[in-house]
Amino acid sequence: MPDMSDRQEDVLSDLEEEAASLNRSEDSRCARNELNDAAIQKYSKVHEDEFEELWLPGGVAEEMRQCWQAFLAKYAAAELAGLAIYDAIFEDAPNLRSMFKSPRTVFALTFTNFLSNILSMTSNPSTLRSSVETLGLQHLDREVTPARLAVFSGAVLTSMDAELGHEFTPDARAGIVAMLNYIGGAMVYCRREFGTRVKIIQRSWKIATHHQTEVPSESEDIEQEPMSSSEQQQTEGKEDAEASSEKRKAKDKSDDTARLEVKVPTTFHEMFLFNVAVMGCADCKWMHILLERFDAMATNVASTTRLQEECDVLSLRLAKYNGQVVLPQFKAVMLASLRSMVPKDWDMDHEVAWTWFWENMEKLLKKMMGMPQAYNKVLKNLLSNLDEASISRTRQVVFERFFELAPDAENFMKQSSTRMYYIADKVMEMTIDIYDNPQKLVDDISGLGLRHVGYGVPSEYFPPMVQAYCEAIDNLSPRSSAAFRWSLTLITKILTRVILEGSTVVMRAINTNQESAVRQAVAVAPRGKRAMSVLSISVGTQTISPLYWAIDSGRLNCAKAIIEDLLTIRADRDVYYYGCEALFTRHPEIVQKMCVSAPSLLIALLEGLVWRSRITKDGSRRVNLYIKHLVQDSKGAFSPTLHWLVRYKDPKIMSHLVVALTTDLIWSRFAAFQFLRNKFWFLLTLGIFFVSQSILKEQTGVEEVFEANVARFVLRLWLYLAGMCGLYSVVKNVASEYSCGQVIRTSTIRTIHIPRSMTDAKQIGRLALVWVLMAMLAFEPILRCASTMDSQNQYLLFTSRCGVEEEIRIYSMFSAIGMVLFWLLLTDCTVFSMRLSAFMLVCGWVAAEVCLFLLALLFLILTFSTALSSLQHDLEEFNDTTTWVSALAQMVLGMFPASDFSATQQDLPIFVCLTFFMALVSILLMNLLIAQLVESYRAMFADIIGFARLNRASVVVSVLAEAHPARFARFLRTLHFEDRLEFNEGDSGPAGGIQIQEPANEHTVTEDSILRYGGPTAPSVPWPEDERKAEESAEEKLQHVANRLGSMEKLLSKMAKSQGMNLKNGSRLSASMISKSTCSMSTCSDPHQ
Confidence of residue 1008 (pLDDT cuts 50, 70, 90): confident
Give the span between the Cα atoms of 464 and 460, in whole angstroms. 8
pLDDT for the residue 46: 81
Confidence of residue 534 (pLDDT cuts 50, 70, 90): very high
Higher model confidence: residue 54 or residue 903?
Answer: 54
pLDDT for the residue 603: 94
Contact 139, 187 (CB under 8 A): yes
Task: Give the lowest-confidence range in 36-50, 178-192, 540-554.
Answer: 36-50
Over 90: is that where the pLDDT of 544 sits?
no
Q: Is residue 590 part of a domain?
A: no
Max avg pLDDT among 275-279, 410-414, 429-433, 606-610: 606-610
Backbone φ and ψ for 366, nearest 5 degrees, come out as -65, -35
Q: What is the mean pLDDT of residues 959-978?
A: 90
| 245: three-class secondary structure by DSSP | helix
pLDDT for the residue 451: 79
Contact 950, 963 (CB under 8 A): no
Over 80: is that where the pLDDT of 162 sits?
yes
Q: What is the mean pLDDT of the chain?
A: 79
pLDDT digits (tens, 9 = 90+) for 485-498: 888 888 888 888 88
Over 50: is that where the pLDDT of 422 sits?
yes
pLDDT for the residue 234: 35
Give the span between the Cα atoms of 487 and 315, in whole angstroms. 12
pLDDT for the residue 707: 79
pLDDT for the residue 37: 66
Task: State whether 119 and 170 are in the same domain.
Answer: yes
According to DSSP, residue 1022 is labeled B
Higher model confidence: residue 568 or residue 94?
Answer: 568
Higher model confidence: residue 824 or residue 1075?
Answer: 824
Task: State whether 295 and 421 are in the same domain.
Answer: no
445: domain CATH number is 1.10.490.10
Task: State whether 179 and 284 are in the same domain.
Answer: no
Higher model confidence: residue 632 or residue 254?
Answer: 632
Over 70: is that where the pLDDT of 840 sits?
yes
Task: State whether 357 and 382 are in the same domain.
Answer: no
Task: State whether 344 and 414 are in the same domain.
Answer: no
Sheet holding 1011-1012, edge to edge: 576-577, 570-571, 1011-1012
Strand partners, 538: 543
pLDDT for the residue 2: 41
| 62: three-class secondary structure by DSSP | helix
Give the span between the Cα atoms of 864 and 856, in whole angstroms. 12
CA distances in angstroms from 100 to 105, 157, 1011, listed in the order given: 12, 19, 28
- Burial call 936-948: b when 16+ CB within 10 Å, e when fewer: eeeebeebbbbbb
Number of domains the chain contains = 5
Over 70: is that where the pLDDT of 115 sits?
yes
Task: Give the lowest-confidence range in 34-43, 136-145, 876-885, 972-981.
Answer: 34-43
Largest CA distance in the chain: 136
175: Cα within 13 Å, side-chain hemisphere = 25
Higher model confidence: residue 275 or residue 48?
Answer: 275
Task: State whether 361 and 436 are in the same domain.
Answer: no
Backbone φ and ψ for 687, nearest 5 degrees, come out as -65, -45
Task: Give the lowest-confidence range in 395-409, 435-449, 734-748.
Answer: 734-748
Confidence of residue 17 (pLDDT cuts 50, 70, 90): low
pLDDT for the residue 1037: 61
- Burial call 318-343: b when 16+ CB within 10 Å, e when fewer: bbeeeeebebebbbebbbbbbbbbbe
Task: State whether 130 and 56 are in the same domain.
Answer: yes
**End residue of a domain, out of 503, 519, 550:** 503
Contact 479, 409 (CB under 8 A): no
pLDDT digits (tens, 9 = 90+) for 63-85: 888 888 888 888 877 778 888 88
Q: Is residue 601 part of a domain?
A: no
Domain holding 101, by residue range, is 43-209
Q: What is the mean pLDDT of residues 896-907?
A: 72
Q: What is the mean pLDDT of residues 456-469?
A: 82
Q: What is the mean pLDDT of residues 251-279?
A: 67
Over 90: is that where the pLDDT of 994 sits?
yes
Sheet holding 610-617, edge to edge: 610-617, 620-625, 994-999
Contact 92, 154 (CB under 8 A): yes
According to DSSP, residue 459 is labeled G
According to DSSP, residue 744 is labeled E
Over 70: is that where the pLDDT of 778 sits?
yes
Confidence of residue 1077 (pLDDT cuts 50, 70, 90): very low
Higher model confidence: residue 97 or residue 631?
Answer: 631
pLDDT digits (tens, 9 = 90+) for 500-520: 888 888 888 888 888 888 888
Q: What is the mean pLDDT of residues 584-600?
A: 93
Q: Is residue 295 part of a domain?
A: yes
Smallest CA-to-CA distance from 992 within 1008, 968, 975, 970 is with 975
Sign of CA dihedral 1025, 1028, 1033, 1034: positive
Confidence of residue 742 (pLDDT cuts 50, 70, 90): low
Give the span between the Cα atoms of 699 and 838, in whole angstroms. 41
Higher model confidence: residue 907 or residue 840?
Answer: 840
pLDDT for the residue 1074: 42
According to DSSP, residue 991 is labeled E
Give the span between the Cα atoms of 588 and 395, in whole angstroms. 44
Q: What is the β-pairing status of strands 570-571 and 1011-1012?
A: parallel
Smallest CA-to-CA distance from 646 within 421, 961, 381, 238 is with 961
pLDDT digits (tens, 9 = 90+) for 655-696: 999 999 999 999 999 999 888 888 888 888 888 888 888 888
Give the other-Cβ count within 10 Å of 394's Cβ: 20
**End residue of a domain, out of 328, 352, 369:** 369
What residues contact 699, with CB distance under 8 A and at least 6 apart? none
Over 90: is that where the pLDDT of 593 sits?
yes
**End residue of a domain, out of 438, 471, 503:** 503
pLDDT for the residue 54: 84
Q: Is residue 999 part of a domain?
A: no
pLDDT for the residue 996: 92
Give the other-Cβ count within 10 Å of 84's Cβ: 24
Confidence of residue 876 (pLDDT cuts 50, 70, 90): low
pLDDT for the residue 1027: 57
Residue type, position 840, single letter: M
Element (H, E) at 735: helix 706-740
Q: Which region holds residue 1060: left if phi is over 0, alpha if psi is between -120 and 50, else beta?
A: left
Higher model confidence: residue 313 or residue 732?
Answer: 313
Task: State whether 685 and 709 are in the same domain.
Answer: yes
Over 90: is that where the pLDDT of 604 sits?
yes
Helices (H), 262-347: 268-278, 285-299, 304-319, 327-341
Higher model confidence: residue 530 or residue 798?
Answer: 530
Backbone φ and ψ for 145, nearest 5 degrees, come out as -130, 160
Q: What is the mean pLDDT of residues 305-320?
A: 87
Smallest CA-to-CA distance from 858 within 812, 917, 814, 806 is with 917
pLDDT for the residue 211: 43
Q: Is residue 237 part of a domain?
A: no
Q: Is residue 941 part of a domain?
A: no
Give the span between the Cα atoms of 378 and 431, in whole angstroms. 11
Give the span between the Cα atoms of 944 and 323, in whole angstroms. 74
Over 80: is that where the pLDDT of 1046 sits?
no
Over 50: is that where the pLDDT of 1069 sits?
no
Looking at the chain, the whole-number percentage of residues with pLDDT higher than 70 is 82
Looking at the chain, the whole-number percentage of residues with pLDDT higher than 90 is 14
Helices (H), 21-95: 22-42, 58-73, 78-92
Over 70: is that where the pLDDT of 365 sits?
yes
Task: State whether 337 and 483 are in the same domain.
Answer: no
Task: State whether 342 and 389 are in the same domain.
Answer: no
pLDDT digits (tens, 9 = 90+) for 693-708: 888 877 766 677 777 8
Smallest CA-to-CA distance from 512 within 116, 1026, 75 is with 75
Q: Is residue 969 part of a domain?
A: no
Over 90: is that where the pLDDT of 1048 sits?
no
Task: State whether 737 and 797 are in the same domain.
Answer: yes
pLDDT for the residue 127: 81
pLDDT for the residue 997: 92
Give the span between the Cα atoms of 1086 and 362, in whole angstroms. 69
What residues contact 990, with CB distance under 8 A and at least 6 apart? 569, 576, 578, 580, 581, 626, 980, 981
Task: State whether 182 and 316 are in the same domain.
Answer: no
Q: Is residue 806 part of a domain?
A: yes
Backbone φ and ψ for 56, nearest 5 degrees, come out as -105, 150
Helix, strand, coil percentages for the chain (3-state, nearest 5): 70, 5, 25
Confidence of residue 569 (pLDDT cuts 50, 70, 90): very high
